[in-house]
A = this chain, B = another copy of it.
Amino acid sequence: MIVLFTDFGPAGPYVGQMKAVLHREAPHSAVVDLVSDAPSHDPMAAAYLLAACVGEFAEGTVFLCVVDPGVGTGRLPLVVEADGRRYVGPDNGLFEPLLRRAATARAWQITWRPERLSASFHGRDLFAPVAARLARGEPPPGPERAPHDLRRMPGAGWPDDLARIIYIDHYGNAVTGLRAAPLGAEAVLEAGGRELRRARHFSELPAGAAFWYENANGLAEVAVARGHAARDLGLALGAEVTVRQRQGRHGKT
């Protein structure tokens, strides 16, 4: 299976043109759209979203990942293998959280080039043909690289979890780049000037109540019961989120 993760939008020709290439080069592979509205021009936000969404997919799945504002510059094209799944896309940090959290990881630099390589659409011209090759069972077309050499360092602005809004979904819920599990039941998120406590789910709360909860992909997500959190709380993509632990009975909230 080839899974598409892009910032191309759901309606226009770019996804379809990539699918035409995939169908021509790997006609027996199913192709599934995972995300077509990843944060535009923001590989960092996209990277934490991608890492949260891949758990549903079997080993051997090939992810074609194109959030690539640097297309046409010197950034490297990569194949990454992390925990048995493979990823094709640009070396701009998009695979950093995956690599950092993987039990096993390998990487390759793509040195193959197609006959025709446009300046602005490597998704179609370079990454899709490589994804098709992998789906056909062929090896990555280029030399192996040590994953460590491709890593971004926490000190360089790539934390283990990203305390920002990385995705606003169709309901208006605002997904953060923070994994919920380590936060604990007493964690308070500050976002949009509001203090938000953790709830298990919408159904526990009166209409209009703002809260955060662990979403189905394990991320802390800000929501408003029967509301539209992004609009109601003024949260935009990229907005910062602060985590505090609520004090016990001797402290203040």
Contact = CB atoms under 8 A, between A and B. Distances in A.
B24 A58 contact: yes
From A12, A36, A217, name the one whose CB has the most chain B CB atoms within 10 angstroms. A12
A203 B72 CA distance: 7
From A1, A7, A202, A216, name the one whose CB has the most chain B CB atoms within 10 angstroms. A216
Contacts of A30: 23, 27
Interface in A1-39: 1, 3, 7-17, 19-21, 23-24, 27, 30, 32-37
A246 interface: no
Given A17-B56, A32-B23, A41 B125 contact: no
A183 interface: no
Interface stretch (A102-110, A116-124, A232-240): A116-124
Contact of A9 (B9, B56, B58, B170): B170
Contacts of A213: 119-120
Chain A contact-residue range equals 35 or more
Interface of A: 1, 3, 7-17, 19-21, 23-24, 27, 30, 32-37, 40-41, 49, 53, 56-58, 69-73, 118-121, 124-125, 167, 169-171, 200-203, 213-217, 226
A220 to B, nearest CB: 13
Given A17-B56, A19-B32, 10 more contacts: A9-B169, A10-B11, A12-B169, A16-B34, A56-B124, A69-B226, A118-B215, A119-B201, A120-B215, A121-B215
B170 A12 contact: yes
